[in-house]
Amino acid sequence: MAAIHFIDGEKGGVGKSLFARVMVQYCIDNKISYELVEADQSNPDVGAFYPNNHKKAVFSESERKAYDADEIFNSALITSVIVNLPAQVYPAVTDWIERNQILEITGKNQVKIYKWFVCSGGYDSVQLFIQSLERFENKIKHIFVRNFGLCDDWRHIDGRKNLQELIKTYKVAVINFPKFSYRERDILDANQINFSAARNYGELGVLGKQRLHNFLKKAFEEIEEAKIWNLTAASITSPSEKVGNSNTNRKVATKK
């Protein structure tokens, strides 16, 4: 079933872009049909890693610009769409969903909507997740992505009864996004090297490539824990065993 996957977090600096890049790589490695949409105009860093394999969209409360986002829904009728959202876009996205009755239309057309909410562990970040969850309830499937690259102790979050009750009520999947070592991330970001190319990038060195391998392996396992993409365990292979020479400037499509 086709779907819209919003990579959200509302705040800047919570790790949305890195998670979106990992999600794209997850689809490439598992030969899942997808469309990448870069919706961050001010810092389109995810699209920069896939210059020939993404579309652009703008979420705006301005009626004149609001139609730009319609392409997301149109694409979702054909394949799964990964949308990298900018910070502070909640009002505009919510307006687009409600004004166009997106939830009703997607239901009729068998298109699912998922919101992968990347959280830094900060109070504001958690509150924004709660706001989105209470607004959409079971109408949009939320996945709570705990970014261990920014927070390595989540006991203060686990102790918040109101949050845990909401997670239980709406059956929210909770996954742990692993830390990506600063050295390897800095090298890839500086050179705009995507993960497929990074596996053969000499500057990382043997140990750097191993750390990249471990990061992707853990991240893929966590994405699979959410049980959204519906892949069987047998289809998840070690990142080093996957297609190392994937052409990331085109979509790989065998599963939906």
pLDDT on residue 66: 63
pLDDT on residue 239: 44
Dihedral sign for Cα 158, 159, 160, 161, please: positive
Coil, helix or strand at residue 194? coil
Least confident of 91-95, 114-118, 168-172: 91-95
pLDDT on residue 193: 95
pLDDT on residue 253: 40
Average pLDDT of the residues in 211-233? 89
Mean predicted lDDT score pLDDT of the chain: 88
Show the domains of the chain with their CATH numbers: 1-224 (3.40.50.300)
Q: Is the pLDDT of residue 246 over 90?
A: no
How far apart CA 159 and CA 22 sit, in angstroms, is 29
Which tokens sit at 8? 């959200």
pLDDT on residue 243: 39
Chain segment 100-132, per-residue pLDDT in tens: 899 998 888 889 999 999 999 999 999 999 999
How open is the CA angle 24-248-142, to the nearest 5 degrees? 10
**Do 253 and 31 meet the contact criterion of CB atoms below 8 Å apart?**
yes
The total of other beta-carbon atoms located within 10 Å of residue 72's CB is: 20
Chain segment 191-202, per-residue pLDDT in tens: 999 999 999 999
**Do 210 and 203 meet the contact criterion of CB atoms below 8 Å apart?**
no
